[in-house]
């Protein structure tokens, strides 16, 4: 099997290259993202391998089918960037449903601790020999109410971590899990009662902009909001309004609604024209990172393993256990 591997970064080669050789798979590493213009690079390949910011709409799928590409391999869990209706019956779509929920949950907890105790600001101050702690006050997590939105594998791991901090946990999910030992409430109740809100749900038509002006209005003043899931869960304009009105003690974001053009790239020498992104980074109570919650050695190894096992399953005509269908 030959795979056109789009949006390649050096760390992708580190994990995928040796493993692919062991499995008898040939990979061409391509640095650009997959879109209509770059789809020609996949001609004569059996599969393409894509990441979260490759946009696989109907036009791209039409091109891939024209070039006889049979499979789309997602090296991630989310598949909101693939037009599944256009792919149905024409091209396989496989994903990595779970690689390291621990990595993402641990990172979400790190963001919570950072913005609450303002560790990022303290770090900058002490680098300049400023040892004042004025303005760096947070709150104890013990006994506070945390709302977990989405209780899939990552949400479950987050709940386990939060229990260690002796927080009062409430949860919201369309499909409650009775074995988690937490109280499920309505989303409205969660927003109203939580001192901390952490998002762990997939991006769907129903969840897009679930955090908006109305939902922010329901939150407590001084709430902490954490999102390590998908950027479009939050209406960025509404979030900026909330920040301007001092609604939040802190906001920890590993994702951003319009991240496609910026995340995973070095833009330090460019003029950033995205006004919303510039405004977000100007708030000293916002910690914004570049979609790195998944980024551990363990997770990368698991991603490479499952992605290539998916490719082997296609090649050897085995059951496609990680196929995405509608």
246 lies in the same domain as 272: yes
193 lies in the same domain as 303: no
Is residue 326 included in any domain, yes or no? no
| Mean pLDDT for the stretch of residues 116-136 | 97
DSSP code, position 231: G
Is residue 325 included in any domain, yes or no? no
DSSP code, position 207: T
Catalytic: which of 75, 121, 200, 291? Answer: 291
Active-site residue, 188 included? no
Name the band, by pLDDT with cuts 50, 70 and 90, for residue 325: confident
Pairing of strands 71-74, 47-50: parallel
What pLDDT digit, counting tens, does each position of 157-184 carry?
999 999 999 999 999 999 999 999 999 9
The pLDDT, as a whole number, for residue 166 is 98
Catalytic: which of 75, 230, 232, 257? Answer: 230
> Is the per-residue pLDDT at 61 higher than 90?
yes
Mean pLDDT (the chain) is 96
Tally of domains within the chain: 2
16 lies in the same domain as 77: yes
80 lies in the same domain as 159: no
Q: 221 φ, ψ to 5°?
A: -70, 140
Of 25 and 325, the one with more pLDDT: 25
Token pair for residue 256?
A: 């951003």
What pLDDT digit, counting tens, does each position of 246-261 carry?
999 999 999 999 998 8
45 lies in the same domain as 178: no
Domain of 164: which CATH number?
Answer: 3.40.50.720
Give the percent of the chain with pLDDT over 90: 96
Active-site residue, 230 included? yes
Alpha helices by DSSP H, listed for 88-186, are: 101-117, 119-127, 153-164
26 lies in the same domain as 174: no
> Is the per-residue pLDDT at 78 higher than 90?
no
Is residue 322 included in any domain, yes or no? no
Alpha carbon distance 153, 20 (integer Å): 28
Segments forming the whole domain that contains residue 47:
2-99+296-315
> Is the per-residue pLDDT at 277 higher than 90?
yes
Is residue 196 included in any domain, yes or no? yes
Structural element, H or E, at residue 239: helix 236-244
Catalytic: which of 121, 232, 257, 259? Answer: 259
| Mean pLDDT for the stretch of residues 222-235 | 97
Name the band, by pLDDT with cuts 50, 70 and 90, for residue 126: very high
Three-class DSSP category at 17? helix
The pLDDT, as a whole number, for residue 99 is 86
74 lies in the same domain as 106: no
278 lies in the same domain as 153: yes
> Is the per-residue pLDDT at 141 higher than 90?
yes
Name the band, by pLDDT with cuts 50, 70 and 90, for residue 241: very high
> Is the per-residue pLDDT at 5 higher than 90?
yes
The pLDDT, as a whole number, for residue 242 is 98
143 lies in the same domain as 36: no
153 lies in the same domain as 62: no
Q: How far is CA 8 from CA 4, 44, 80, 126, in A?
A: 10, 19, 20, 37
91 lies in the same domain as 132: no
Is residue 323 included in any domain, yes or no? no
> Is the per-residue pLDDT at 326 higher than 90?
no
Is residue 14 included in any domain, yes or no? yes
Q: Is residue 171 a contact partner of residue 148, using CB atoms and an 8 Å limit?
A: yes
Residue 55: name the closest of 72, 69, 30 by CA.
Answer: 72
E strands within the chain? 2-5, 26-29, 47-50, 71-74, 92-94, 145-149, 168-172, 183-184, 196-199, 223-227, 248-253, 286-288
Active-site residue, 75 included? no
93 lies in the same domain as 120: no
How many CB atoms are closer than 10 A to CB 137?
10
């Amino acid at each position: 099997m030959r795979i056109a591997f789009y949006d390649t970064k050096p760390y992708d080669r580190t994990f995928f290259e040796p493993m692919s050789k062991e499995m008898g798979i040939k990979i061409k590493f391509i640095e650009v993202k997959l879109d209509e213009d770059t789809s020609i690079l996949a001609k004569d390949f059996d599969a393409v391998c894509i990441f979260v910011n490759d946009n696989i709409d109907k036009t791209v799928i039409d091109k891939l089918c024209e070039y006889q590409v049979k499979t789309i391999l997602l090296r991630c869990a989310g598949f909101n960037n693939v037009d599944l209706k256009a792919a149905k019956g024409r091209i396989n779509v496989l994903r990595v449903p779970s690689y390291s929920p621990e990595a993402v949950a641990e990172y979400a907890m790190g963001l919570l601790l950072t913005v609450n105790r303002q560790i990022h600001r303290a770090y900058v101050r002490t680098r300049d020999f400023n040892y004042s702690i004025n303005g760096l006050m947070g709150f104890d997590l013990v006994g506070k109410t945390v709302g977990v939105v989405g209780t899939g594998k990552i949400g479950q791991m987050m709940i386990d971590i939060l229990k260690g901090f002796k927080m009062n946990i409430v949860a919201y999910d369309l499909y409650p899990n009775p074995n988690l030992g937490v109280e499920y409430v309505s989303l409205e109740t969660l927003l109203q009662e939580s001192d901390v809100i952490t998002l762990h749900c997939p991006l769907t038509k129903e969840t897009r902009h679930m955090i908006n002006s109305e939902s922010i209005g329901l939150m407590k003043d001084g709430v902490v909001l954490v999102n390590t899931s998908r950027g479009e869960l939050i209406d960025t304009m509404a979030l900026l309004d909330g920040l301007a009105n001092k609604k939040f003690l802190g906001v920890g974001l590993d994702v951003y609604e319009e991240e496609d053009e910026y995340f995973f790239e070095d833009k330090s020498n460019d003029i950033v024209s995205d006004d919303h992104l510039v405004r977000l980074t100007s708030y000293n109570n916002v910690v914004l990172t570049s979609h790195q919650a998944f980024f551990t050695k363990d997770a990368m190894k698991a991603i490479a393993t499952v992605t290539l096992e998916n490719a082997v399953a296609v090649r050897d005509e085995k059951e496609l256990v990680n196929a995405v269908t509608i």
